[in-house]
Structure 1
Amino acid sequence: MSDDESAGDGTAPTPTESVWIDTTPETSYDPLSADRRVDVAVVGGGITGLTAAAELADAGEEVAVVESGHVVEGVTGRTTAKVTAQHGLIYDRLRSTVGDGLARQYAEANQRAIEHIAETVERREIECDFGRTPAYTYTDSPDRRDAIAAEVDAATALGLPASFVEDTPLPFDVEAAIRVDDQARFHPREYLLALAASIDEAGSHVFERTKALEIERGRLNRVVTDRGTVAAETVVVATHFPILDRRLFFARLYPERSYVLAVRASDVPTEGLYYKPGEPMRSLRTHVAGQEDLVLVGGEAHKTGHGDAPERYERLERYARKRFDVEEIPYRWSTQDYSTPDRIPFVGRAGPTSDGILVGTGFGGWGMTNGTAAGRLLADMALGRPNPYRTVYDPTRFSFSAVRTALKENAHVAKEFVTGWTDGLRADAATPAPGEARVVRHDGRPVGQYRDEGGELHTVSAVCTHMDCIVDWNDAEKTWDCPCHGSRFDPDGSVLDGPAVEDLPRRSPRD
């Protein structure tokens, strides 16, 4: 019987925020209230932006962090928070595609990121459940033993403390695994809220509820927001997907959504971070929650704008109930990640003539270490300091394998664009029932309609404001999702995730 065929109670848990957001206070930094001039402007309040800003503030720079919502409530607030340099079966592949030199840089950058987090926790005395633990990438298929063995060989050749094992602390058998020692886990919001507080206390600024709209280049670059402008010699764009796209990132970044359950069980493993590549991918880790432990069960990744999200949660629940003695599932949440063609993030100058505008993006689901490494690299670039990992993350890098991947992904985007406009629109004008949504044509124009459980009808343009693809309804998250480049909007059209910057225009039911 496969994981997804195992019996559960058939009921997905009630939607909640992530365990990280639910167990920490909401921040209340003021929005920007007047134009500002600072040394460095940082757009985005996740792990990359706050790491960069904290480094810069420590170096004596005046920094302004601009966040459209609240800090650490975006992708970083919905992570599984694995602090590890072992990113699935990556190093054997990197050695063959980018060579040993760059593969070693990637391993070192991520391993060094773990040590930076550990040092920061100790130096700032941050209470964030930081602890050392091994990381495992495992398989339950005999056909993948050789792939695990090859990854062990690659990881050890690149300097990681890796070994081949056949037993793990999981309460079920595995066929084989790579074990990497001295990795870590933590509570990401507790860690990053402490960094945000240190930035504010150092005489720099954290501006929440301030939406960056564009960046104007000049002698002083200007971040134009809905509440004024922030002028700075250097702008760091750390918005998950860059709001400034001079390197055509939209054609080189591929969005995926994935899902997480926090499970209360009697047999939670005492240690370890776990990842099973392949189909279906699975992610597991223990989280200490007060006097008890939870196991975070993740997976069910799919391209944004595709797939039945409620069904994905149900599959995860069935898997969790098969693998663990589940007592309760108090949390569920989803997240979105962008990957690059070669699985290495883009960190560096935003364009060939953009010396003062820097960007970090494309962490591929491994943002705790990659985001930390990126934040430190961006800070070093802003300060004019050398950094040994600048080459491996350089957005201008080129490889034939990455080009092939980009061509394949962009062919998919083209197909989605055409299909959305030709096949995805209903001609009828009937409005949806409570709890339902649909995309219809009104006077030839695509319109998205959602009727909430209270009976109110929410009507918006169904044309994504990024590149005119037709959005689709995500029933689990109650959002409009773009299947082309991953933009997401709330029921009333407000942007939740880029690359879109502009909201979906609202429509009346008669438009």
Structure 2
Amino acid sequence: MPNISGKHISYWIDSTPTANFPPLINNLSVDVAIVGAGIAGITAATLLKRAGKTVAVIESQQISTGVSGHTTAKVTSLHQLIYADLIKNHGEKKAQIYAQSNQAALEFVAKTVTEQQIDCDFSRQSAYTFAETEDHLKDIEKEVEAALKIGLPATFVRETSLPFPIVGAVKFDNQAQFHSRKYLLHLIKQIPGNGSYVFENTRVLKVDEDNLCQVTTDKGIIQAQDVIVATNIPITDEGLFFAKTYPKRSYIIGARIAEQKAPVGMYIGSGEKYYSIRTTPDKNGLLLLVGGGGHQVGTVENTEEKYLDLENYARSRFDIDSIDYRWSTQDFVSFDKIPYVGKLTPLSKHTFVATGFSLWGMTQGTLSGMILSDQILGIENPAADLYDSTRATPFLTPQGIKQNLEVGAHWVGDRLKGLNKSLQDVAIGEGKLVTVDGDKVAAYRDQTGDIHAVSAVCSHLGCVVAWNSAEKSWDCPCHGSRFSCKGEVLHGPTVKDLKKF
């Protein structure tokens, strides 16, 4: 295994305390149960409690240590290159609603920070999508034209504070960045009390809707009039959201850089291989956050190479002192690039979902919380129809066809992996698919030489998992479920651990 620099933990998590909310102990009833304590769930809980509802926020692990704790934490309506495509595929009116709703989410965060005086390193910044070669310049120019057409604060620029040349960039003024976990920890601490609750280390197993909704957890049952499932991808398979999105992993490093050598603003490249760039203040000065290396979950085994590539990029482009952090994240990309926010199914009356944020969860998650709280409160939201989670399923987009064909290929083809391998073939620190007494086994040998053997068949819908060497995890290439080397659930849609041998 190559030598990778940096502490293997998200800076947002490492620089904040644990929240220490209790697990569920007794069955109880509330107005609204919210499954998942990331930015979508916490935003909805904040707005609903403010409106007089009792809420219970239920988190399987710890507050905002999932995707919201592993983000780049950019709060912006500039989503790389999207507006030209939205106008082309959905029309100018829908593209304008998308733009306005993301701008509204940005301003909601800004207003919340100001009103509640939240210490979360919030700062207004310009956001850029840049091209380094002429190959992508036309895409930049089209994006500027599209953004201006629908009223966004866009300009075309040829110079930035980046320490390397570009051929052009689209620039949005008055965007923002923040420390996502400081922001969310502040909000979540206001939820408990007066009939409302926050529970950590409580895994939701299923949600049933009848006269009252029933949320069944591994610790007990919560009844509610309404339920919001905000778990990045719904843990309930109704609605087929796992088949209307695809799971994407990406990687981030935090590098120590002197302020006078650091770029000003937030950046993301264009083209197939692109990098995300921003800085954040920390107790020792300034960190340069460089992200990239995106790929579909479970399709890359030697993930150490992703971190090494980020390190090489950072060292070749910036005058950095050291690599202090490294971490990875995962999001689900909607086939039509628009999140799904609304009812779980067309027949649902009281169960709601938010998913498919397509790597822009700080604004998309915030606007989801705003839309869902409005729907539960009976308030008309002008963006609700655009994000309607029951809209016509875009299976027949090129990306949708490709993804679902790949799922079928994995379901069949991956069963041939490991046929001629045994436990003796697994080296220390390595994970391998092997066959033991006819069973397909995912085996990991730890540093002491002990084998941890679990079923290689994903507990979601039966695909075969793949090894992720840098994260020491078993990842499902079909729908994005992830498990520790001991088979414990790290990421949904599954709620069940892998069977242990």
TM-score by length of 2: 0.97
Q: What amino acid maps onto 1:13 in structure 2?
A: S
Aligned: 1:290 with 2:283:
yes
In 1, the alpha carbon distance for the partners of 2:392 and 2:93 equals 15
Q: Is residue 388 of structure 2 the alignment partner of residue 394 of structure 1?
A: yes
Residue-pair matches, total? 498
Residue matched to 2:231: 239
In the alignment, the residues of structure 2 paired with residue 378 and residue 146 of structure 1 have an alpha-carbon distance, to the nearest angstrom, of: 37
Q: What's the counterpart of residue 461 of structure 2?
A: 467
Q: Is the 8 A contact 2:421 2:433 kept in 1?
A: no
Q: Deviations over 1:408-428 (max 9, x none)?
A: 210011111112112454343
DSSP-derived class of the 2:267 partner: strand
Amino acid at match of 1:392: L
User: CA shift at 1:203, angstroms?
Assistant: 4.6
Partner residue, 1:272: 265
Tell me the equivalent position of 1:180.
Answer: 172
Letter in 2 for 1:296: L
Deviation at 1:454, TM superposition (A): 2.5
**One-letter identity of the residue aligned with 2:81:** L
Deviation at 1:39, TM superposition (A): 0.1
Identity rate, percent: 46
Residues 472-511 of structure 1: pairs in structure 2 closer than 5 A: 472-507=466-501
**Does the residue aligned with 2:249 lie in a helix, a strand or coil?**
strand
How far residue 291 of structure 1 moved from its aligned partner, in angstroms, is: 4.9
Question: C-alpha deviations, 1:288-344, integer Å up to 9, x for none?
Answer: 112511110000001101122101111111111110012100000000010011111
Tell me the distance in 1 between the aligned counterparts of 2:120 and 2:78: 22
Corresponding residue SS for 2:192: helix
Q: CA deviation at 1:501?
A: 1.2
- Runs of 4+ aligned residues of structure 1 deviating over 6 Å after TM superposition are none
Cα 1:141/1:202, change in 2 over 3 Å: farther
Counterpart position of 1:101: 93
User: What is the rounded CA distance, in whole Å, between the counterparts of 2:139 and 2:6 in structure 1?
Assistant: 38
The 8 Å contact of residues 471 and 480 in structure 1, kept in 2 or not, is answered as yes
* Structure 2 residues not aligned, in runs of 5+: none
- Write the distance in 2 (CA, Å) between the matches of 1:56 and 1:425: 53
Distance 1:400 1:427 in 2: 40
Q: Which residue of 1 aligns with 2:68?
A: 76
From 92, 101, 115, the equivalent of 1:123 is: 115
CA-CA distance at 1:402 after TM superposition: 5.3
CA contact (8 A) 2:244 2:394 kept: no
Q: Which stretch shifts more, 78-87 or 403-412?
A: 403-412
Partner residue of 1:89 out of 73, 78, 81: 81
- The residue number in structure 2 matching 1:22 is 14
Rate the CA distance shift 1:425–1:327 in 2: closer, same or farther, 3 A: farther
Q: Check if 1:305 corresponds to 2:298.
A: yes
Check whether the contact 2:81–2:140 (CA below 8 A) recurs between aligned residues: yes
Q: What's the CA shift for 1:192?
A: 0.3
Q: CA deviation at 1:403?
A: 3.4
Local SS of the residue matching 2:280:
strand
The one-letter code of the counterpart of 1:416 is: H
The code of the aligned residue for 1:376 comes to M
Alpha-carbon displacement from aligned partner over 1:58-116 (angstroms, at most 9, x marks no partner): 01100000000001000100000010000011000000001111111110110110100
CA-CA distance at 1:277 after TM superposition: 2.3
- Give ranges in structure 1 of 5+ residues lacking alignment: 1-9
Q: Is the 8 A contact 1:37 1:231 kept in 2?
A: yes
**Are 2:427 and 1:433 equivalent residues in the alignment?**
yes
CA distance in 2, matches of 1:11, 1:172: 27
Partner of 1:6: none
Residue 217 of structure 1 is matched in structure 2 by 209
Evaluate the alpha carbon distance shift between residue 124 and residue 150 of structure 1 in structure 2; reply closer, same or farther with a 3 A threshold: same
Going from structure 1 to structure 2, the CA distance change for 1:399 and 1:27 (only over 3 Å counts) comes to closer
Cα pair 1:234 1:356 within 8 Å, conserved: yes
Q: Distance in 2 between matches of 1:242 and 1:344?
A: 16
**Corresponding residue SS for 1:285:** strand
| CA–CA distance in structure 2, aligned partners of residues 224 and 245 of structure 1 | 15
Higher alpha-carbon deviation: 420-429 or 465-474? 420-429
Tell me how far 1:274 sits from its aligned partner: 0.3
The separation in 2 between residues aligned to 1:110 and 1:159, in whole angstroms, is 12
| TM-score, with structure 1 as normaliser | 0.95
Q: Verify the 8 A CA contact 1:68 1:208 in the aligned structure 2.
A: yes
Taking the aligned partners of 2:419 and 2:366, their CA distance within structure 1 comes to 42
Residues 136, 270 of structure 2: 8 Å contact kept: no
> Secondary structure at the residue paired with 1:55?
helix
Deviation at 1:404, TM superposition (A): 3.4
**What's 1:162 paired with?**
154
Give the residue type in structure 2 aligned to 1:115: E
The 2-side partners of 1:27 and 1:352 are apart by: 36
**Cα pair 1:438 1:473 within 8 Å, conserved:** yes
Residue 147 of structure 1: how far off its partner (Å): 0.9
